[in-house]
Amino acid sequence: MEKIRIISLIRYREQVVTILHDMRVMQLEPVSPDLLQYMKASDLTAKVEVANAELQKLKSYMGILPKQPVKGRKKFTSLEEALGEARSIDLTDRLRILKEKEADISTDIKDIRNRMETTQPLIGMDVDLSIFNTSFTKSYIVTSPLQNVDPDALRRLPSSPSVVPTPNGQYVVTIPVLAEKDLAKVANELGYSLLHIPELNGKPADYYEDLVASLKNMEKALSMVNGDYQELSKKNYEEIATLEEQLRIEVSKLEAAQRAFSTSE
């Protein structure tokens, strides 16, 4: 293998490295001290940092946007051209807003579904749901995988809790707040599961119907957010992906040059 020394103006260094890299014949080695005066490692370090920042930005966009087909490839005459195009793509604020909306809606959907799970067993009871939680008491739906909940075992707790059957064969235990630990201990010993009833209002059937309507609204809102993601992706994904690929190559070239040219100054 032959070794050659290439001398050029510093401003052409990136183009030289790019040409050699594309020819797949490049092996960079530290240059002799007499040439170091023409090269400045700190310049390369700064460029690597700038290029990496733009590269990571593009990668983060690709991680959020729905994938789209990538049919073409891009090539740039210089790193500055690639960086200029990367800087022109700024979706940070729009994606942040969409992510926040998505998180808020998903939280609401989770809360609604939890309330539906709690309310469904109570449908058919002629009570207002507000009775299950007061300043002094908490209520739980008690279930068992074997469907063998013993209500008398629950009633024997020192606090003498209220134990009421539900229409579907489960039980609601209402217990003083200070005695919740006793209920948890007995449930654990007997293999029962406890589902806490949050603060609810209204008749079970009516409240459940309202939850179903709220869930539909939230799912529609989430679908709209997903549609916004798709719209952004269709407009930008292919350009981002092709630019990310080329910028990744440019960064690898810079890092190779940095390793070869770096020296203590």
Going from N- to C-terminal start, the domains of the chain cover: 10-91+237-261, 106-218
Does residue 30 have a pLDDT over 80? no
Helix (H/G/I), strand (E/B), else coil: 166: coil
Alpha helices in 120-203 (DSSP H): 151-155, 180-190
Nearest CA to 180 out of 188, 168, 170 is that of 188
- pLDDT given for residue 74 in this prediction: 79
Q: Which amino acid is at 59?
A: K
Mean pLDDT, residues 50-57: 93
Quote the Cα angle for 87-239-60, to 5°.
65
- pLDDT given for residue 254 in this prediction: 78
pTM: 0.74
Burial 168-179 (b: 16+ CB within 10 A, else e): eebbbbbbbeeb
Q: Do 170 and 145 meet the contact criterion of CB atoms below 8 Å apart? A: no
Mean pLDDT, residues 210-236: 98
More confident residue, 22 or 190: 190
Model confidence at 33, pLDDT cuts 50, 70, 90, reads low
- pLDDT given for residue 78 in this prediction: 81
Q: Do 31 and 39 meet the contact criterion of CB atoms below 8 Å apart? A: yes
> CA distances (Å), 171 to each of 105, 125, 147, in order?
32, 12, 11
Residues 120-178 pLDDT 10s: 999 999 999 999 988 999 999 999 988 789 999 999 999 999 999 999 889 999 999 99
DSSP for 51-66 reads HHHHHHHHHHHHHHSP
The domain 106-218 is placed in CATH, from the list 1.10.3470, 3.30.70, 2.60.40, 3.10.50, at: 3.30.70
